[in-house]
Amino acid sequence: EVRLVESGGGLVQAGGSLRLSCAASVTTYGPYCMKWFRQTPGREREAVASLYTRAGQKYYADYAKGRFTISRDSTENTVYLQMNSLRPEDTAMYLCAVDLRDFCWYPQYILTPHDNHYWGQGTQVTVSS
């Protein structure tokens, strides 16, 4: 039903940039939410940014505002995460997710992980100081 493949991670120096990609195969005709999360060992998974496919609304975690940009190529159904001014604390496994719930764009859900999400395998981002 949903298949997600992330790419674009790697090692970058502090202050540098990376663009992550998530190629999505989604067999639904309705709108849904595409999200980026990140996780480090011993910490809970945290949201980075989300996008609602119906109207293209974008949502960001506070730490991502001004540095990260989520976008989508609807023809390829690929979601991107452009990350600029990277910091060592941005080091994490970055995961792409799809939320098919009708209310996925509600404020209490748009930046929250859930067991109902479909997840990719993740791509590692390492920022050196």
pLDDT digit string, tens, across residues 81-95: 999 999 999 999 999
For residue 55, the model assigns a pLDDT of: 81
Q: Is the pLDDT of residue 74 over 90?
A: no
pLDDT tens per residue across span 22-44:
999 998 888 999 999 999 999 99
Q: Positive or negative CA dihedral for 94, 98, 101, 102?
A: positive
For residue 1, the model assigns a pLDDT of: 83
Q: Report d(CA 49, CA 101) in Å as an integer.
A: 17
For residue 30, the model assigns a pLDDT of: 85
